[in-house]
Structure 1
C-alpha cells in the first residue's frame, strides 16, 4: 500500500473512531438522563403535586364538613390525566407519598402512580389497580418486592382514606391482565371484596414480566374522622 493510501486509511479510521466515541458519549449521557435525572425531576414534581393535593383535600373537608364514605365519593367520572389521590406505603418510608393519576400511559406514569382506567375507585368493592415504574421517573415502586404480608397501602382522596393490607405476590407475563380484574385471576366473577393491586416491571431494567402485589381493604376513614385524629393532643411523654 502506498504512503498516500495508508494516510487516507488512517484518516478514515480516525474519523470513524471520533464518531464512535461521540456516539458512546451521547449514549452514556442518555442513560444518565434516563436512569438518574428523570428521578430527580420526577421526585420534585411528585412532591409538589402531593402538597397541592393535600391542600385541596383540606379545603374540600372545610367545604363539605368531611362527611361521606370514601368509596361513595369516588364514583365521580374521571378522565385520563386527572390527579385525584395520594398513595402512602409505610414500608417504603414514613415520608413516602406519591400522586395517583388516572391512566397508565407513559405520560401518566411519568407524573406518579397510574390508576388503570375502568378498575375500582379507592374504597369501592372490586379491584383498585395501580401501576408504577420500578426504575426511572421517580421509580415509585422500586421496592415493590420488599412488601410483606400485612404491610399497608393507604390511598387518600378528598373524601377520606382507604387502607389496604398486602396479602400476596405473584410474577406474571405482560399480557396476563386478569391480575387486575375485579376478582384477580377470575375475570368473570362478581366481586364481593374491596381489593387493591400494584403492578410494576420485573426484573429491574426490564419489561419481560410483571411483579404483582395484591391487598385487601382493612379500614376506611372519612375526612371528618381524619380531622378528629389530627386534632387529638399529642401523647404525653412521662419523664423519670
Structure 2
C-alpha cells in the first residue's frame, strides 16, 4: 500500500510541488493497476486524472485548467491524451528549473576550484579557533562543508556560498572578532566566482512560469452529417 503523501513538506515553489505530486500519483496509479484483478482500469485512470487536476487547481497550474474528467466509456482515450499532456508540462517545468539553476550557478575550472577549496579551508581554521558556542560553530562548519561540496560539482551553486557568507557576517556583527579575517577570504571567493561567471554567455531572459505552455484538452470532432450526406450522394451514380 502506498505511503500517505506528506503535503506539509512539499517544496514552496508550486511548480516543483506539482512535479513531485505527479510522480507520487503515477506511483499510486501503477499500484492500483497491479492490484486490479478484473482488467478494467478505468476507475483507477479517472482517479489518477482527478488527483492531478485537483493538484493543478490547488497549485494554480494554469497549463492544465481546461481538462475535465472523462465519460466512463471514453476513459482510456482521454487519459492517454491527458497523460501525454501532463508529461509535457512536467518536462517544461524540469527544463525551466534547469535553466534557472544554470543562471544561479557557475562552471569552475580545476585551478579555480583548488583556490576556492584553499580559501574555504582557511575560513574553517578561523572558525575552529574562534570562541563560539558549539551549536553556532557546528552550523558554520555545516555551511562551509555544503559550499565546499558544491565547488566540486559540475556547476557550483551560489546559494550555499551566500548562506556561508551571511552566517559569518552575522556572527562578526555580534562580536565574533576572531572571524573578521574571513571577510577578506570571502571577498576573494566572490571574486573567483564572479570572474568565472562573467566568462559565461548571458541567458536571453530569466525563465518565467508564463513560459509553460498550456496543453488544452482535445476538442470533440463534431461531424457535419448534412455535408457528409451530400458528398455521399455525389459519389453514388444513381
- TM-score (norm. length: structure 2): 0.24
Where relative contact order (Cα < 8 A, 6+ residues apart) is larger, the structure is: 2
Higher helix share: 2
Higher strand share: 1
Larger Rg: 2
- TM-score (norm. length: structure 1): 0.24
